[in-house]
């Protein structure tokens, strides 16, 4: 589901671990980009090769694979969208290969497991879940008040109704919390 935190989690993992790799690439929102532009970014960031306008990036896909095998590389593919996008990238992902020598890692997130299941082991899959009520309240309060506590009892019932209506969706809680930030007079 959109808004559950896949991109946020992917960015967090990327920022926590990117400094442990020789080369890194965070490909954000792949489904809404031209796949050739995405491949060119991979080539440039991982292999230090910038293509001229007339050059075909598909001629260099093997070079991307070689870079990922010969170096310690982290690639995060955010919201791949469709199977054709994942396959067009031709990243060295093989759910049946067990290569302990490979130091590179590829993290892919997607709303639809069917797109990834032929490329990713079931044991490598992470299902995102909605937030529990306490977590939802903490996230909402953080964005509404820029801290997790300090709500007055006057607002508590109203905020709990908002939190309940969001049904644990992190994006909804964040957006509504930000919208209400600084509002101290609510009409019921």
96 pLDDT tier (thresholds 50, 70, 90): very low
Average pLDDT over residues 76-97: 77
pLDDT digits 0-9 by tens, 15-29: 999 999 999 999 999
Cβ atoms of 31 and 85 closer than 8 Å: yes
Enumerate the domain spans of the chain. Answer: 6-124, 133-180
Cβ atoms of 170 and 139 closer than 8 Å: yes
Cβ atoms of 3 and 71 closer than 8 Å: no
Helices 170-180 and 153-166: crossing angle, nearest 10°?
150
pLDDT digits 0-9 by tens, 41-72: 999 999 998 888 788 888 888 888 888 888 89
Residues 6+ apart with CB under 8 A from 9: 109, 126, 128
pLDDT digits 0-9 by tens, 144-164: 877 555 555 666 777 788 888
pTM to 2 decimal places:
0.73
């Amino acid at each position: 589901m959109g808004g559950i935190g896949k991109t946020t989690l992917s960015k967090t993992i990327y920022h926590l671990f990117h400094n442990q790799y020789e080369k890194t690439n965070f490909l954000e929102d792949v489904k809404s980009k031209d796949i050739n532009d995405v491949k060119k970014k991979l080539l440039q960031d991982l292999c230090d090769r910038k293509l001229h306008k007339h050059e075909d990036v598909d001629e260099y896909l093997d070079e991307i694979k070689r870079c990922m095998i010969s170096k310690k590389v982290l690639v995060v593919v955010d919201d791949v969208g469709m199977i054709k996008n994942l396959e067009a990238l031709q990243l060295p992902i093989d759910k049946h290969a067990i290569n302990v020598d490979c130091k590179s890692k590829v993290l892919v997130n997607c709303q639809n497991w069917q797109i990834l299941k032929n490329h990713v082991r079931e044991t490598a899959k992470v299902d995102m879940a909605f937030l529990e009520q306490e977590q939802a309240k903490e996230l909402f309060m953080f964005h509404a008040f820029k801290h997790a506590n300090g709500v007055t009892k006057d607002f508590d019932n109203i905020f709990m109704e908002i939190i309940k209506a969001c049904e644990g969706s992190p994006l909804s809680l964040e957006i509504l919390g930000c919208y209400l930030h600084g509002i101290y007079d609510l009409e019921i």
